[in-house]
Amino acid sequence: MTSHAMISGHRSALRPQLLLSEPQKRILWHLRTAGPTSRVQLAEAMGMNGATMTRVTQQVATLGLVEELAGNANAGRGRPMIPLAICGQGGWSAGATLHPGWLEIVIVDFAGTPLLRDSIPFTETDPKLFARMLDTRLRALVAQHGFMRGKFLGLGVAVAGYALNDDRNRRKMVDWLAPWNDVPLDEILGDALGMPVWVENDGTAAALAEYYQPRILGAYRSVLVFFLGHGVGAGLIAERDLFPGEHRNAGEVGRLFPGHGPRPSGIDLMRTLREAGVDISSLSDIDHLLESHADVIEAWADRVAAQLEQAVLSGIVWLDPGAVVISGALPQPILQGLAARLEAINATRDSSYLAATPQIHASTIGSAAVVIGAALAPIHAITAIRV
């Protein structure tokens, strides 16, 4: 079925359209984390014999999920020394999220590479109207960019709200999205769009996007991500999979910072700048103030690092992640400054601790992390190894 037909057709069961065996998933994950690898090296890493490896790699190649790269032209039977790599053309998926006043969409290929990022004005808060607008926009993007030649794997939607009654599809949302409260979002969105839909908290979506960055994916099995946007959220990747928690609300760190006081968030930075006399109405305006109001921003970053210290430390001691990523809808110099402050605090505290501690990174994708992570949700659901 083409991607165009998937978008315009009747919704099937909300499950991945591509079902893979565990050996197939293991090979795909090895290629994602280690990069291009020959069949011989794959067989050694996977503990498979050569015949099994040849059969399984042929299967994923037939599905268009891996491709051969230029390698040893003199390779013999089975061409064992030609490296295999994830093939971006193996499929594509879309991600969407709603901001106050606008709708954002990203489409990624099977390799996790963003193919386009689109935004349109949108002020409605009814989830059915959101679904109709999203359907209309996706149809236009599919027609414009020719994605019908790939395999459509699903849609991820990132939302600003926590799960109710252990159900990821029913949530308590932020105030301006009250019509989304406690309704079956997968059914509402899936019925209108005619496609499999994954609903994720925006902090969880950001964590997925940050984990799929090459410098992180290839180096760590577990990563803790903090996302500073309009609010403050977090997400956890544990053993290369999303960790949802017992009630599907792992990472609800906003509860540590009540709304009646200063919070480590972009909105709080905007408030701080307004108190300093700046006329600012959007997080995107902060980038232009980095030099002119450096003292205000530096003081705010000092306070926020102190606020985040215990949240970061708690995550480190309980979860033992390989890395911590500071992400969010803030200019990268601010994210880098926060990461450096937290790294220094962590190093000072642990000066006598002899075991390894996680490195603290600043995001390189910033505000795009939420919608990119939403787009990656279907791909991750299809290929992740459950342990």
Kindly report the average pLDDT of the chain as a whole number.
89
Residue ranges and CATH numbers for the domains of the chain are 22-88 (1.10.10.10), 90-205+371-383 (3.30.420.40), 214-364 (3.30.420.40)
pLDDT digits (tens, 9 = 90+) for 158-172: 999 999 999 999 999
Banded model confidence at residue 259, pLDDT cuts 50, 70, 90: confident
Please choose, from the candidates 241, 240, 265, the residue with its C-alpha nearest in 3D space to the C-alpha of residue 253. 265
pTM of structure: 0.91
Banded model confidence at residue 3, pLDDT cuts 50, 70, 90: very low
193, 5 in Cβ contact below 8 A? no
**Region 260-271: what's the mean pLDDT?**
91
What are the beta bridge partners of residue 98? 103
Please choose, from the candidates 336, 385, 350, 371, the residue with its C-alpha nearest in 3D space to the C-alpha of residue 114. 371
pLDDT at residue 80 tops 80: no
Banded model confidence at residue 11, pLDDT cuts 50, 70, 90: very low
**Region 184-212: what's the mean pLDDT?**
92
State residue 124's pLDDT score. Answer: 93
State residue 211's pLDDT score. Answer: 97
What are the beta bridge partners of residue 92? 109, 152
153, 109 in Cβ contact below 8 A? no
Look up residue 73 and give its DSSP letter: T
Please choose, from the candidates 198, 196, 172, 192, the residue with its C-alpha nearest in 3D space to the C-alpha of residue 183. 172
pLDDT digits (tens, 9 = 90+) for 205-214: 999 999 999 9
Lowest mean pLDDT among 10-24, 178-192, 326-340: 10-24
pLDDT at residue 278 tops 50: yes
- Specify the amino acid at residue 23: P
Cα end-to-end span (Å), the chain: 31
Task: Give 62 or 147, the one with higher predicted confidence.
Answer: 62
